[in-house]
Structure 1
Amino acid sequence: MSQKLDEIKAPIAPVMEEFERKFRESMKSPVPLLDRITHYIVKRKGKQMRPMFVFLSAGLHGPVGDTSHRAATLIELLHTATLVHDDVVDDSNERRGFFSLNALWKNKIAVLVGDYLLSKGLLLSIGNKDFRLLELVSEAVKVMSEGELLQIEKARRLDITEDIYYEIIRRKTASLIAACCACGASSAGASDETVQQMHRFGELIGIAFQIKDDLFDYGPEGVIGKPTGIDIKESKMTLPLIHALSKASQAEKKRIIHIIKNHNTDNKKVREVIRFVESSGGITYATERMYHYQEEAFRLLDTFPANAYRDSLRSLVRYTTERPL
């Protein structure tokens, strides 16, 4: 899988190396404690999908320059800030297989670090007059927060419909990938119309990506480093379950919701819910919807001229959505 990702990165490999160097520099602080923490954040980087979407989107529409680097850095700073705050809110002790900041340095310091990263992103944009980039990313962060709150509100009653589910993931997950693609295009001098098209492209990818992530909850344990049934244990209503419940009788629906509300820590009961979703066609349906959004994204991407960046964007979408369950 990593070799495939290296192939996808090929058109932007030197750019990504330069980005990593610049991002490390942007995280440095004269405050020793803060410098140790930001070094820890940089050290545990993930696959860096977001910068890849920024740079590939930029290359598709023009030259990848300093503005593109600032766009990628802004998104990483603000996204990292939201993750740090999320871990505090969720009382989570792990992130990508590493201890979370709040687990190592406690909540107060973690919140302050999140605030610091947020301010770094704002200052980077204001200092370079990248107001369009700041507008795109700030809108994404606002929409992500709305999505989180909408999910919390609906989770209390477990009454999420398919339409509400799409609205939640459009806000929570897709908005950031949309901002990556839009910022990339904008940083390369694309027109407002093209920036909006790339925003929609990223939104479609984000929806497909989240559906795939939800499907992992029903796949073999350990495929992505987490056990199955986690969403059920956390009473999260995802597309496979929502569809299965929509096809169930009133009595069956009541029984399954009772398990999710009252027995979601019982592994035997959780497996019972997983079998119900499988037998009700929830996994098949969610997979079909994922490919629907992927194909819609490809149709939009194909309206732009063919080049190596477009090919890599297509491959990156496949990489994110076609990982085996």
Structure 2
Amino acid sequence: MGVNENVQKPLDRLSAELASEMQAVNDLIRARMSSRHAPRIPEVTAHLVEAGGKRLRPMLTLAAARLTGYDGPYHVHLAATVEFIHTATLLHDDVVDESRQRRGRPTANLLWDNKSSVLVGDYLFARSFQLMVEPGNMRTLEILSNASATIAEGEVLQLTAAQDLRTDEDVYLQVIRGKTAALFSAATEVGGVIAGAPEAQIAALHDYGDALGIAFQIVDDLLDYGGATQTIGKNVGDDFRERKLTLPVIKAVARADDDERAFWVRVIEKGDQRDGDLEHALHLLARHGAMQGARADALDWAGRAKAALDPLPDHPIRDMLSDLADFVVSRVA
């Protein structure tokens, strides 16, 4: 199983449709990541913000607002808020995971240091809260601030669950719903809220973002064991080396015999990893159909995301969001 390079990218169509609004978001991000007194802040932030990310999460906010008929200026502020929250979490995650590569480039903690990454991440969180209050909408403030807390909670849960072979698929779902899907669902939900959409449509946008985020993270975890480094923007096997119990491994552990379980205990729980262990892990994942099983779960969540769009207006944006759910899982073949 690997990256499917022969799929059309609906994200590119969505990006073209929202180009002028995304330019406004990018301009706002650049303006707000500046610092008059601490030049390291824009240096570190620019390294990640300008690294060629697709800006998927803020684009979802713009798409949701457009889909539900918003014609004001504040969806741009909310979209920039979402991107700042996301960027802050990436800076913190790379320190926690001791990562050396992000989006195909050296991580900020490698180029500068852990202290700079953590403190600049804190600065971006603070900037995100400044941005989220500017629309003067208490409900969007509540959604985005709750999402920020949920993301942090998910990351802490992952710390305690990631190297415990008792972690099952329910706990894994709780982790990724916190650390990934929470921001996806907040991004889509606030777009509907700022537009004053009916409650059924706001709920539909939340459910779409939640299911899309879960599918997205499952696929990311799959790609860690089957993607090309230049495609996924990090080193293949990073999750294994960082001893993270992601869905493919959880599925393989659940089917493991005594010898296989002893292997997983050694490499995940005890951290005693040796030459050839990654290859043996891949063999066990294949033996138990763990990759195919995880992909089937991702397909199911993508289907839920598409179904969640039903209450929303008939609009080209809705079709693009539906295609985006298909694309998320088509990244692995």
TM-score of the superposed pair, with normalisation by structure 2: 0.89
Letter aligned with residue 173 of structure 2? Y
Which amino acid in 1 is paired with 2:306? F
User: In the alignment, which of 14, 36, 47 is matched to residue 20 of structure 2?
Assistant: 14
Matched residue type, 2:28: K
| In structure 2, C-alpha distance between the alignment counterparts of 1:95 and 1:45, rounded to whole Å | 11
AA in 2 matched with 1:317 = A
Q: Deviations over 1:290-314 (max 9, x none)?
A: 1111111111112322211101111
Does the alignment pair 1:60 with 2:67? yes
Which runs of no fewer than 5 residues in structure 2 stay unpaired? 1-6
8 Å CA contact retained: 1:235, 1:264? no
C-alpha spacing 1:24/1:146, structure 2 compared with 1 (3 Å): same
Q: After superposition, what is the alpha-carbon deviation per residue over 1:10-34, rounded to whole angstroms, capped at 9, x for unaligned?
A: 3212211222222222222322513
C-alpha root-mean-square deviation of aligned residues, in Å? 2.3
Q: Is the 8 A contact 1:140 1:175 kept in 2?
A: yes
Distance 1:109 1:252 in 2: 41
Q: Does the 8 Å CA contact 2:161/2:167 hold for their aligned counterparts?
A: yes
Q: Which residue of 1 aligns with 2:4?
A: none
- One-letter code aligned to 1:18: A
Partner of 2:175: 168
- What residue is the counterpart of 1:80 in the other structure? 87
The answer to which structure has the higher helix fraction is 1
Q: Which residue of 2 aligns with 1:266?
A: 274
1:213 to 211, 214, 220: 220
Higher relative contact order (CA 8 A, sep 6+): 2
Equivalent of 1:23 in 14, 20, 29: 29
> Is 1:245–2:253 an aligned residue pair?
yes
**Structure 1 segment 196-211 matched on structure 2, within 5 A:** 196-211=203-218
Aligned equivalents of 1:318, 1:124: Cα separation in 2: 32
2:162–2:243 Cα contact (<8 Å) kept? yes
Q: Are residues 266 and 117 of structure 1, via their aligned partners in 2, closer, same or farther at CA, if it must alter by over 3 Å? A: same
The match for 2:300 among 292, 297, 303 is 292
Among candidates 294, 306, 318, match of residue 310 of structure 1:
318
* Matches for 1:278-289 after TM superposition, within 5 Å: 278-289=286-297
Contact residue 182 and residue 195 of structure 1 kept, 8 A = yes
Q: Specify the alignment match of 1:118 in structure 2.
A: 125
Q: 2:232 aligns with which of 213, 217, 224?
A: 224
The number of residue pairs the alignment matches comes to: 325
Matches of 1:64 and 1:101, distance apart in 2: 37
- 1:234 aligns with 242
Q: Distance in 2 between matches of 1:236 and 1:121?
A: 29
**SS of equivalent residue, structure 1 residue 14:** helix
Identity of matched residues, %: 35
* Cα distance in 2 between the residues matched to 1:41 and 1:240: 29
Unaligned runs of 5+ in 1: none
1:314 alignment partner AA? S
| Cα-to-partner distance string for 1:174-194 (whole Å, 9 max, x where unaligned) | 111111111111122213443
**Shift in CA distance, 180/220, structure 1 to aligned 2, threshold 3 Å:** closer
| 1:70-124: CA deviation from partner (whole Å, max 9, x where unpaired) | 1101111222222222223333343222333333332333333222222222122
Residues 1:85 and 1:245: Cα distance change in structure 2 (over 3 Å): closer
User: 1:263·1:269 contact (CA, 8 Å) conserved in 2?
Assistant: no
| Residues in 2 aligned to 1:191 and 1:139: alpha-carbon distance in whole angstroms | 21
Aligned residue for 2:54, secondary structure, equals: coil
Partners of 1:158 and 1:55 in 2: CA distance: 40
The CA distance in 2 between the partners of 1:217 and 1:38, in whole Å, is 25
Amino acid at match of 2:36: P
C-alpha spacing 1:32/1:261, structure 2 compared with 1 (3 Å): closer
Distance in 1, matches of 2:284 and 2:193, equals: 46
Alpha-carbon distance in 1 for matches of 2:259, 2:49: 50
Q: Structure 1 41/225 Cα, relative in aligned 2: closer, same or farther at 3 Å? A: closer
Which residues in structure 2 correspond to 1:39-50 (within 5 Å)? Answer: 39-50=46-57
Q: Structure 2 CA distance, aligned partners of 1:165 and 1:282?
A: 15
Residues of 2 paired with 1:240 and 1:303: CA distance? 33
Instruction: Tell me by how many angstroms 1:3 deviates.
Output: 6.6
Matches of 1:153 and 1:77 in 2, distance apart?
26
Shift of 1:225: 3.5
